[in-house]
């Protein structure tokens, strides 16, 4: 009898061991690394988490996405984008700012004062123009999934209040590594200084640079009010953002999983836009409460001064230069 009981127990153990790899706790078939460059309080992170949640749920756990915020996978967004090409990053959530260095036609969205409001922005990004620009990533080892946002960019500095163009002259301002942005600031008499975002707070703290320019959510969640006194709501450039997957990863997916990635990205992007809107509306008051002086300068002189930037860079868009006029026309509808 003891022998029979022992045999049954051993048989049950063997069955459990055999079945273990097929239980709900089994390892995913595909594990991916998603990187972004900002703190977890930023709207990018909320969008990244939503994308992770949706993909993992819709694939029944067959795909797992681990989110690495705050430059854990690289020192800045350009590094993360290069990581997509090199295979060290699988999914990128972040700004299009450095993308002009990979595909010139992404500079289309960097022209100053191009968009009048967010309705204008998304009629472009969610329409044929936006989808065309996303499709260009295929030739760069990337696959664009959806457009998110970072909001309109605004100027902060530690030196003086900004009421008009003369007030920005002579300031040393950190910018992204984007030649259209840099040309805009040079035109306005500013000294633009490209710098990895991870270095900016210390540079502001030490006075190496006078200021920087970013959307409101970034200014607040990065606690720039601790090292910057003045905020000017210049809204000089809208900062689109993207969910991008490495092309090698996307091409390896089944048709079912490709559709899941695309649908999840669209849903996550809409959610992220809502989060960003809410932050943008609330954080201006929060910045004031934390001691920042906020000004709303007349933008017409800024727009007039920046017209030469259009002439300088239109040619860089090649056969797509006409899209610039289409975007301007859409804003007048």
- Per-residue pLDDT of 116-148, as tens digits, reads 999 999 999 999 999 999 999 999 999 999 999
Token pair listed for 187? 């035109």
Measured CA to CA, the distance from residue 171 to residue 165 in angstroms comes to 11
> Does a structural domain hold residue 287?
yes
| Number of domains forming the structure of the chain | 1
User: Is 17 inside any structural domain?
Assistant: no
Q: Is 109 helix (H, G, I), strand (E, B) or coil?
A: helix
Closest to 163 (Cα-Cα) out of 173, 172, 155: 155
For the CA atoms of the chain, what is the radius of gyration?
23
The reported pTM is 0.85
User: Smallest Cα–Cα separation from 69: which of 96, 46, 97, 101?
Assistant: 46
Q: Considering only CA atoms, which of 247, 285, 201 is closest in space to residue 91?
A: 247
Rounded to 10°, the helix 43-58/255-289 angle is 160
**Nearest to 272, CA basis, from 95, 81, 49, 38:** 49
Residue 96: give its domain's CATH number: 3.40.190.170
**Long-range contacts at 315-322 (CB < 8 A, ≥ 24 apart):** 316/104, 316/107, 317/104, 317/105, 317/107, 317/108, 318/104, 318/105, 320/105, 320/108, 320/132
What percentage of the chain has pLDDT greater than the value 90? Answer: 86
Q: Tell whether 78 is covered by a domain.
A: yes
- Of the ranges 4-8, 27-31, 158-162, 250-254, which one carries the lowest mean pLDDT score? 4-8
Provide the pLDDT for residue 123.
96
Range of 267's domain?
A: 28-331
Does residue 305 sit within a domain? Answer: yes
Note the residue count of the chain. 333
Residue 10 lies in a domain: no
The kind and range of the H/E element at 205 are: helix 200-206
In a domain, 7, yes or no: no
Please check whether residue 3 lies inside any domain of the structure: no
Is 21 a domain residue?
Answer: no
Give the dihedral sign, CA 114/120/126/129: negative
Binning pLDDT at 50, 70 and 90, where does residue 26 land?
A: low
Q: In whole angstroms, what is the distance from residue 46 CA to residue 239 CA?
A: 17
The confidence band for 31, taking pLDDT boundaries of 50, 70 and 90, is very high
């Amino acid at each position: 009898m003891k022998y029979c009981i022992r045999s049954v127990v051993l048989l049950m153990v063997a069955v459990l061991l055999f079945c273990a790899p097929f239980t709900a706790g089994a390892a995913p078939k595909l594990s991916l690394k998603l990187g972004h460059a900002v703190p977890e309080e930023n709207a990018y992170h909320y969008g990244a988490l939503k994308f992770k949640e949706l993909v993992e749920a819709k694939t029944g756990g067959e795909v797992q996405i681990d989110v690495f915020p705050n430059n854990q996978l690289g020192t800045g967004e350009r590094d993360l984008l290069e990581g997509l090409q090199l295979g060290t990053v699988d999914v990128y959530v972040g700004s299009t700012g450095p993308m002009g260095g990979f595909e010139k036609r992404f500079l289309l969205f960097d022209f100053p004062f191009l968009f009048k409001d967010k309705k204008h922005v998304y009629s472009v990004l969610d329409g044929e123009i936006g989808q065309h620009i996303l499709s260009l990533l295929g030739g760069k080892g990337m696959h664009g999934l959806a457009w998110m946002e970072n909001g309109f960019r605004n100027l902060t500095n530690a030196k003086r209040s900004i009421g008009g163009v003369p007030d920005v002259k002579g300031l040393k301002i950190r910018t992204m590594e984007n030649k259209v942005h840099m040309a805009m600031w040079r035109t306005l008499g500013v000294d633009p200084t490209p710098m990895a975002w991870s270095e900016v707070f210390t540079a502001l703290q030490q006075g190496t640079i006078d200021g920087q320019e970013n959307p409101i959510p970034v200014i607040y969640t990065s606690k720039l009010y601790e090292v910057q006194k003045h905020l000017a709501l210049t809204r000089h450039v809208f900062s689109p953002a993207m969910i991008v997957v490495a092309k090698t990863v996307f091409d390896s997916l089944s048709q079912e999983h490709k559709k899941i990635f695309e649908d999840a990205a669209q849903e996550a992007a809409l959610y992220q836009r809502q989060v960003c809107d809410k932050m943008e509306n609330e954080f201006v008051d929060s910045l004031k409460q934390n001691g920042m002086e906020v000004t709303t300068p007349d933008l017409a002189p800024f727009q007039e001064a920046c017209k030469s930037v259009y002439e300088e860079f239109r040619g860089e868009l090649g056969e797509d230069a006409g899209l610039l006029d289409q975007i301007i026309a859409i804003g007048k509808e």
